[in-house]
């Protein structure tokens, strides 16, 4: 096993599957099987999931919502997704705790680094929801922050493509995949792996990122065991 403690970032859109919105039970079930495969080997896992399948703060602006209000709505969407993920994980006998960047008891406890570390060391999968708890920050930034807080060795960003490309591979057949990138190269090439705040945070705190296809069975376990899957972004 190469990585003992990881932070898995899942987009809310990934949970939609083939649906237009909401949560696809089939997809979330498949993700939980992948998660179970690494937890069974002793990997300590923190998860941050987005909320774009339910509501995205920035999109709310175009629909007439106040930015701050919209961002809080997006934070609540991440909590809904986290509760769904927890429910399926626990059905698969995986011990799970949810912590939130915004206070929402009795649904879950507020995010606390010491508590998160205690849960991880006790064998729980810890889902860190509610973003950073502040408006104007994305769940990418929340993932970077939480990774630093729990001292994760790497951020695994699960997407529906198998890495980082020079252009959108779903639109450009000539797009070239990168096996390795530095943070500076990714910024200079404007590759948009994460928002700039999150990306800069990872660079400053020396947290590597692996972008990979979460929809390919076995990929998550292969990465944890050291196989070269997806694109590795480092200092």
- The number of beta carbons lying within 10 Å of the beta carbon of residue 61 is 14
Distance CA 59, CA 40 (A): 38
- Report if pTM > 0.85: yes
Q: What is the pLDDT of residue 13?
A: 86
State pLDDT tens for residues 74-87: 999 999 999 999 99
Q: What is the chain's mean pLDDT, rounded?
A: 93
CATH tag, 5-234: 3.40.1160.10
Residue 65 vs residue 100, higher pLDDT? 100
Q: Which residue in the block uniquely carries the two structure tokens 């991880």? A: 120
The residue-averaged pLDDT of 134-146 equals: 96
Give the residue extent of every domain in the chain.
5-234
- The number of beta carbons lying within 10 Å of the beta carbon of residue 145 is 24
Q: What is the pLDDT of residue 186?
A: 92
Q: Which residues of 80-97 are buried (b: 16+ CB within 10 A; e: fewer)?
A: bbbebbbebbeeeebebb
State pLDDT tens for residues 27-36: 999 999 999 9
- The number of beta carbons lying within 10 Å of the beta carbon of residue 170 is 10
Would the pLDDT of 118 be above 80?
yes
């Amino acid at each position: 096993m190469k990585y003992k403690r990881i932070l898995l970032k899942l987009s809310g859109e990934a949970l939609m599957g083939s649906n237009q919105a909401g949560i696809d039970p089939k997809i979330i079930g498949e993700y939980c099987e992948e998660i179970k495969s690494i937890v069974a080997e002793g990997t300590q896992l923190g998860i941050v999931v987005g909320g774009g399948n339910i509501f995205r703060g920035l999109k709310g602006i175009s629909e007439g919502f106040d930015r701050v209000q919209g961002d809080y709505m997006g934070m609540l969407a991440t909590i809904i997704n986290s509760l769904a993920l927890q429910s399926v994980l626990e059905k698969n006998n995986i011990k799970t705790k949810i912590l939130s960047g915004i206070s929402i008891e009795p649904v879950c406890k507020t995010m606390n680094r010491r508590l998160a570390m205690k849960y991880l060391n006790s064998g729980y999968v810890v889902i860190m929801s509610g973003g950073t708890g502040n408006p104007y920050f994305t769940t990418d930034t929340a993932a970077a922050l939480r990774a630093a807080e729990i001292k994760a060795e790497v951020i695994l960003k699960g997407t529906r493509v198998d890495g980082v490309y020079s252009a959108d591979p779903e639109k450009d057949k000539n797009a070239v995949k990168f096996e390795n990138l530095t943070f500076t190269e990714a910024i200079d090439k404007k590759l948009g792996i994460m928002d700039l705040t999150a990306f800069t945070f990872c660079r400053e705190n020396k947290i590597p990122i692996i972008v990979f296809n979460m929809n390919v069975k076995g990929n998550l376990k292969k990465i944890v065991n050291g196989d070269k899957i997806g694109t590795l972004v480092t200092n």
